[in-house]
Amino acid sequence: MTAALRFDPIRLPPECEELRKEVRAFLADEIARGTFDPHQPHSEDNDNREFAKRVGAKGWLGITWPKKYGGHERSYLERYVVTEEMRVANAPTRRFFVADRQSGPVLLKYAPERIKMDILPRICAGEVCFSIGMSEPGSGSDLFAAKTKATKTDGGYLINGTKIWTTSAHIADYMIAVFRTSPPTKDNRRHGLTQFLVDMKTPGIKVNPINQMSGQKEFNEVVFEDAFMPDDHVLGEIDGAWKQATSELAYERSGPERFLETYYVLTELVRSIGPNPDARAAEGIGRLVAQLHTMRRMSVSVAGMLSAGKEPVVEAAIVKDIGTLWEQALPHRVRDLAAFVDADVTNLPTLNEQLAFATKIAPKLTIQGGTTEVLRGIIARGLGLR
């Protein structure tokens, strides 16, 4: 039996439950003081610098990182708890989410000491925002078709080309990007890309916002014209970015945000249905909760594997595939079940507003961070089929 199917029933240790209480109390306090509205999922749009700093001050960013970089040397499972509580509360995490989840870990692994000492403590303090520069107009699922070029020059590289769909580039301080340093070789088409740390204030970088169908302005086009990257901003092996991507993807793909993105509509549905559901509503809700519980148990299990130092790439792909399809279908299922809710129920306008928003963002969920088809390719490889 393939090992990728072992999702051991990991239970969160007591320190996680202590932490969960603290996070809930903190969020309740933030809601009370009007920082954000938990019923407004797109409040996440708001780039809230002060909130980010308060989260950092709590010690909840860079939780697992070494103390000398501002981290807290706590477990990956504790990070999991913070992430899921923030997600479910619809907290405005935009400023720090990517940095904490994946950019920081990449820097920890590949950046020179000077850069680590400079940037990591600021991520932990909630002061810096990161973006990810992988996709290009001619390169999406096929990451290794990227063309944006890094040409060697004195003391560094000159970058020319365009990245696209770059979430948060308009507010980001840094980007971690892949650029082409060499052409691919005959026997390895993945060869030739190098990971760089990009300071977004570098002259020659232009960020053009792109509007989304949901009305949000999350992503951007980023144009590079002779933008200079110093040598010490190279992350890891030159031409060898393809070797570095795997563990990053396990972090990126298995987290609670991969099935909780539209969760609020389920809460609101339960509220609108009230304590005495008819059989139809009860059955619908029961199935959704059973599916949710199962995904969460799988996701916690992957967190346990990450915590134990493994690289559960296939397991993470399974969680993201099932999870994103579920969160994508959720607004539609909730709409089905809400069809017979009494029109006078007081929270119905809130539910309808949330449904409209969730339905509009649903299409992106199975595209960002690796499409359904790409994930199934990874799972198939795990089964030894390719």
Ligand X SMILES: Cc1cc2nc3c(=O)[nH]c(=O)nc-3n(C[C@H](O)[C@H](O)[C@H](O)COP(=O)(O)OP(=O)(O)OC[C@H]3O[C@@H](n4cnc5c(N)ncnc54)[C@H](O)[C@@H]3O)c2cc1C
Give the interface with another protein as residue ranges (CB under 8 A): 1-2, 4-9, 11, 20, 84-85, 88, 263, 266-268, 270-271, 273-277, 279, 281-287, 289-298, 301, 315, 318, 321-322, 373, 375-377, 379-380, 382-386
Return the number of the residue (48 or 166) whose C-beta is nearest ligand X.
166
Residue nearest ligand X by beta-carbon distance: 140
Which partner from the list ligand X, another protein, none does 8 bind, CB cut-off 5 to 8 Å by kind?
another protein
Least CB distance to ligand X at residue 77 (A): 26
Smallest gap from residue 300 Cβ to another protein (A)? 8
Q: Which lies closer to ligand X via its Cβ, residue 110 or residue 165?
A: 165
> Which of ligand X, another protein, none interacts with 277 (beta carbon under 5 to 8 A by kind)?
another protein
CA 98 remoteness from chain centre: 6
Interior angle at CA 131, CA 108 and CA 150, nearest 5: 80
Cβ distance to ligand X smaller for residue 119 or 178? 178
Least Å distance, CB 334 to ligand X, is 21
Pick one of another protein, ligand X, none as the site partner of residue 284 (Cβ within 5 to 8 A by kind): another protein
Nearer to another protein, 213 or 279 (CB): 279
Specify burial of residue 128 (Cβ count, 10 A radius: 0-12, 13-18, 19+). buried
User: Nearer to another protein by C-beta: 88 or 125?
Assistant: 88
Which of ligand X, another protein, none does 385 bind, CB closer than 5 to 8 A by kind?
A: another protein
Q: How far is the CB of 357 from another protein (least distance, A)?
A: 18
Residues lying near ligand X in the complex (CB under 6 A): 131-135, 140-141, 165-167, 219, 364, 367-368, 371, 373-374
Residue 183 Cβ vs ligand X, minimum distance, rounded to whole Å: 21
How crowded is the C-beta side of 363, counted as CA atoms within 13 Å?
A: 5
How far apart are the C-alpha atoms of 240 and 238, rounded to whole Å?
A: 5
Query: Least distance to ligand X from the beta carbon of 291, Å?
Result: 23
> 93 or 167, CB closer to ligand X?
167
Least distance in angstroms from the C-beta of 87 to another protein: 10
